[in-house]
């Protein structure tokens, strides 16, 4: 979401708008705008060529009032303390909106995993986790995958922690392989949540998702699952774009076939049952629902005026700049903010943690039913708040989140 210097400043802008409407008292305001813990570690790793590299890693626990910190670990050359802190803050608000008993955290290591071998990545992961070991744990801080980290990395996190404490502790991390205590339904969860909020938004806007038209940017995990579940709900997904190109078919793309095409070609480009299409065309397309499910800063002040969709569902994190969001809101476009729209991912991570702690695992149907209930409750709470305060859905989501964290902060009182 970086539109200028600091991403954390962007987060604060969104926070301040909602806190003002809530008349939040100055003391709580100060507490909620400061990270609780920021840990910086140096991780020496012997590389395959025999040389030693030292990687800088961060773990930020932004707020743990509602429960253990929850948030992914990112491996990227551009990781910074400012970015990790902002992402940890957003996790705090996302968990609060989702109404799950977690605070917000995030981790990151400055590295380029595309240039590292599997052995080097494993060594880095184990050393990073060893460096932050006292700060994490099932009741303290529960990491998960993020950019460039996956199930395998989570398996190493789980193993490293378990070796240190001397017994297997599956609930220290989520996003694990099923065999290691992962949850059924986790892979599809975020896309499923996107489908649910799109369906509920359409109902609120006075039309049925069955028969509605949809355009999607990004056809990775979130975009492709959203497309498939929306198709199953009767929607017509007419356009999809990705990093390389796009496809359009006015009568609706054949999503299962498109998924097959992408698994072979790594892009939707070249799909035979549609015409070539671009991101620019997608954002101007006359569809009922537009779903940015790729990157941040895609709907900007430059293209927002051209958006003709009735509903924008922010499946990606931060796909709409603040200025673009204002323009969309003024024109009556219903924007479902990221902290609500993609919160099904962390909600199912919470389900994974619960199952690990119980040692008792749910069927996929049970996971999906519980997810449906949680997302509908979160959507209703934000919609009711938006109607009550006459504000857009993003501000409403922040109001819901801030109210929840502030209420518990007041009840717990000040420890000093």
CB 259, min distance to ligand NAD, A: 11
**CA gap 160, 169 in Å, rounded:** 10
Q: Please choose, from the candidates 105, 98, 89, 92, the residue with its C-alpha nearest in 3D space to the C-alpha of residue 137.
A: 105
Residue 68 or residue 72: which is nearer to ligand NAD going by CB? 72
- Cβ at position 205, least distance to ligand NAD in Å: 23
Kindly tell me which of 30 and 244 has the beta carbon lying closer to ligand NAD.
Answer: 244
Structure token digits, residue 47: 């590389």
* Of residues 41 and 311, the one with the C-beta less far from ligand NAD: 311
Q: Are 361 and 355 in contact (CB under 8 A)?
A: yes
What's the CA dihedral at 160, 353, 226, 396 to 10 degrees?
A: -120
Q: Is-contact 99 172, C-beta < 8 A? A: no
User: To the nearest whole angstrom, how small is the minimum distance from the Cβ of residue 76 to ligand NAD?
Assistant: 12
97/381 Cα distance (integer angstroms): 8
Q: Are residues 163 and 133 in contact, defined by beta-carbon separation less than 8 angstroms?
A: no
Shortest reach from residue 345's CB to ligand NAD, in Å: 3
Q: Where along the sequence are the contacts to ligand NAD (CB under 6 A)? A: 190, 217-223, 241-243, 279, 293-295, 315-317, 342, 345
User: Minimum distance between the CB of residue 341 and ligand NAD, rounded to whole angstroms?
Assistant: 9
Task: Please say which residue, 123 or 238, places its beta carbon nearer to ligand NAD.
Answer: 238
Q: Which is nearer to ligand NAD, 123 or 375 (CB)?
A: 375
Which residue in the shown chain puts its C-beta closest to ligand NAD?
220
CB of 101 to ligand NAD, least distance (A): 19
Token pair of 86, please? 């902002």
Q: Which helix (H) or strand (E) holds 214?
A: strand 213-217
Question: Is-catalytic flag, 106?
Answer: yes
Helix (H, G, I), strand (E, B) or coil at 137: strand
Pick the catalytic residue from 36, 70, 94, 106: 106
129 vs 293 by CB, closer to ligand NAD: 293
Dihedral Cα 260, 266, 269, 272, nearest 10 deg: -20
Q: What is the DSSP string of 300-349?
A: -TTTGGG---SEEE--SSS-B-HHHHHHHHHTT-EEE-HHHHTTHHHHHH
Supply the residues annotated as catalytic.
Answer: 106
């Amino acid at each position: 979401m970086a539109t200028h210097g600091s991403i954390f400043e962007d987060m604060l802008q969104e926070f301040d708008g909602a806190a003002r409407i809530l008349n939040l008292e100055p003391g709580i305001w100060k507490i909620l705008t400061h990270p609780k813990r920021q840990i910086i570690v140096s991780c020496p790793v012997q590389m395959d060529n025999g040389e030693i590299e030292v990687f800088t890693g961060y773990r930020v626990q932004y707020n743990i009032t509602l429960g253990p910190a929850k948030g992914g670990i990112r491996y990227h050359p551009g990781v910074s303390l400012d970015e990790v802190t902002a992402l940890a803050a957003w996790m705090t608000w996302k968990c609060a909106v989702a109404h799950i008993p977690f605070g917000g955290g995030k981790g990151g290591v400055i590295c380029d995993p595309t240039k590292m071998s599997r052995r080097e990545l494993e060594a880095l992961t184990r050393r990073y986790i060893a460096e932050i070991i006292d700060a994490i744990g099932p009741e303290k801080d529960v990491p998960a995958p993020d950019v460039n980290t996956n199930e395998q990395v989570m398996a190493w996190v789980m193993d490293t922690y378990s070796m240190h404490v001397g017994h297997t502790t599956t609930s220290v991390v989520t996003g694990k392989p099923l065999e290691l205590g992962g949850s059924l339904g986790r892979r599809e969860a975020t896309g499923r949540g996107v489908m649910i909020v799109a369906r509920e938004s359409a109902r609120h806007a006075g039309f049925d998702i069955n028969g509605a038209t949809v355009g999607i940017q990004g056809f990775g995990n979130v975009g492709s699952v959203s497309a498939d579940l929306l198709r199953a709900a009767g929607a017509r997904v007419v356009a999809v774009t990705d990093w390389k190109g796009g496809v359009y078919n006015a009568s609706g793309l054949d999503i299962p076939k498109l998924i097959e095409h992408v698994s072979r070609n790594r892009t939707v480009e070249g799909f035979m049952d549609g015409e070539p299409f671009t991101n620019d065309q997608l954002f101007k397309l006359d569809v009922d629902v537009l779903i940015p499910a790729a990157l941040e800063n895609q709907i900007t002040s430059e293209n927002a005026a051209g958006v003709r969709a009735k509903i924008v569902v922010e499946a990606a994190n931060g796909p709409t700049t603040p200025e673009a969001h204002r323009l969309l809101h003024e024109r009556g476009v219903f924007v479902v903010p990221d902290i609500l729209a993609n919160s099904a991912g962390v909600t199912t991570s919470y389900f994974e943690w619960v199952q690990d702690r119980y040692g008792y695992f749910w069927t996929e149907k049970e996971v999906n039913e519980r997810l449906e209930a949680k997302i509908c409750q979160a959507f209703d709470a934000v919609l009711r708040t938006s109607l009550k305060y006459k504000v857009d859905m993003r501000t409403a989501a922040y109001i819901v989140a801030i109210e929840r964290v502030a209420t518990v902060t007041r009840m717990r009182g000040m420890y000093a």
